[in-house]
């Protein structure tokens, strides 16, 4: 369920931010992402920050902790985390503000090489010793044969949420945001999940697979594992699209169906 986004910063939140970053001179709302009660551009005399927050009693407040814990491992891959505050009933994360736009995932987009360059950096990060969700666990309700889950096991650090709203492009650099669902699993899962978004943005299945094939882990992806993931993603997006009004739910359902048929 999306969380209702607050359009003004509550006084308590304003005070907490000012305590660590100095007086706020301007606040701008962010029109993307649905899960945070607070997602704002905050300017102080010295800095511009991106502040993301949830009340401490929110069922997904663990995602804030996950983002805070993982941030030190993501230099050059994600915007830098400047602080994490848990006070007065709020969990707040203050990030370096990225002045950029969401990635363009359409065919021939000039953003694609930048996105892949950052994915390659991510592929080199050893999975940190943190408690992360595992892909077999996350996908367990979408397989019809539980044996398929073993394809998804691995110890690579994966982002997994390749909505272009989570990819900020500034100049020729792409940075990935929204690490609350970072997971461990087989290294090829990230490029394979990314290609569904490429298909949803107009790539053919072949074009999308060719783009993913520039990821170092792609050559190691077993065809059976990819086929199993295609089946799982089809079920997952069928179920998301049945319940969601998000703009991308139907295109992603169609993309997942196309890819599953392509892999048959
Ligand atoms: N460091 C940043 N600098 C500038 N903008 C950012 C930054 N981090 C995130 N954003 C913008 O804020 C939006 C929401 O951020 P994020 O995806 O982390 O939060 P969310 O509300 O939890 O999202 P979701 O609903 O996707 O889980 C992003 O889609 C992006 O447009
Ligand atoms: Mg997001």
CATH number at residue 190: 3.90.1200
Provide the strand spans (E) within 88-198: 90-96, 101-102, 133-134, 156-158, 167-170, 173-176, 183-185
Same domain, 82 and 144: no
Same domain, 159 and 229: yes
Q: Which of 45, 75, 96 is the last residue of a domain?
A: 96
Same domain, 77 and 118: no
Question: Pocket around ligand 1: residues whose beta carbon is below 6 Å from it?
Answer: 30, 32-36, 39, 50, 52, 79, 95, 97-98, 165-166, 168, 177-178
Same domain, 127 and 238: yes
Q: Is residue 214 part of a domain?
A: yes
Closest protein CA for atom 19 of ligand 1: 33
- Cβ atoms of 177 and 160 within 8 Å: the answer is no
Q: Is residue 2 part of a domain?
A: no
Q: Which domain holds residue 24?
A: 11-96
Distance CA 77, CA 88 (A): 31
pLDDT, mean of each 10-residue run, the chain (264 residues): 69 96 92 80 96 96 96 98 98 97 97 98 95 97 96 98 97 96 97 98 98 97 98 98 94 98 97
Task: Supply the pLDDT for residue 32.
Answer: 67
Task: Supply the pLDDT for residue 37.
Answer: 87
Same domain, 149 and 235: yes
Q: Is residue 215 part of a domain?
A: yes
CA distances from 182 to 22, 51, 178 (A): 31, 19, 9
Q: Which of 35, 66, 96 is the last residue of a domain?
A: 96
Count the domains in the chain.
2
- Which residue is it, tokens 């003004």? 8
Task: Supply the pLDDT for residue 30.
Answer: 80
Task: Supply the pLDDT for residue 31.
Answer: 73
Same domain, 149 and 253: yes
Q: Is residue 3 part of a domain?
A: no
């Amino acid at each position: 369920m999306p969380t209702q986004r607050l359009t003004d910063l509550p006084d308590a939140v304003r005070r907490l931010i000012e305590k660590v970053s100095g007086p706020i001179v301007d606040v701008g709302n962010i029109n993307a992402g649905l899960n945070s009660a607070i997602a704002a551009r905050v300017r102080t005399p010295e800095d511009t920050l991106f502040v993301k927050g949830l009340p401490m009693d929110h069922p997904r407040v663990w995602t804030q902790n996950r983002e805070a814990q993982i941030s030190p491992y993501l230099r050059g891959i994600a915007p830098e985390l400047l602080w994490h505050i848990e006070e007065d009933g709020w969990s707040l994360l203050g990030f370096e503000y990225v002045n950029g736009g969401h990635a363009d995932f359409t065919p021939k987009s000039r953003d694609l090489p930048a996105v892949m360059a950052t994915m390659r950096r991510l592929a080199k990060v050893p999975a940190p010793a943190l408690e992360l969700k595992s892909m077999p666990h996350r996908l367990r309700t979408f397989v019809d044969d539980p044996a398929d889950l073993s394809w998804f096991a691995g110890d690579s650090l994966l982002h997994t949420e390749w909505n272009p709203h989570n990819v900020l492009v500034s100049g020729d650099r792409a940075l990935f945001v929204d690490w609350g669902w970072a997971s461990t699993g087989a290294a090829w899962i990230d490029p394979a999940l990314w290609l569904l978004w490429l298909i949803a943005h107009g790539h053919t299945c072949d074009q999308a697979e060719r783009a993913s094939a520039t990821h170092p882990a792609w050559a190691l992806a077993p065809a059976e594992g990819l086929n199993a993931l295609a089946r799982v993603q089809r079920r997952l997006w069928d179920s998301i699209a049945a319940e969601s009004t998000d703009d991308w739910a139907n295109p992603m359902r169609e993309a997942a169906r196309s890819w599953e048929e392509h892999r048959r």
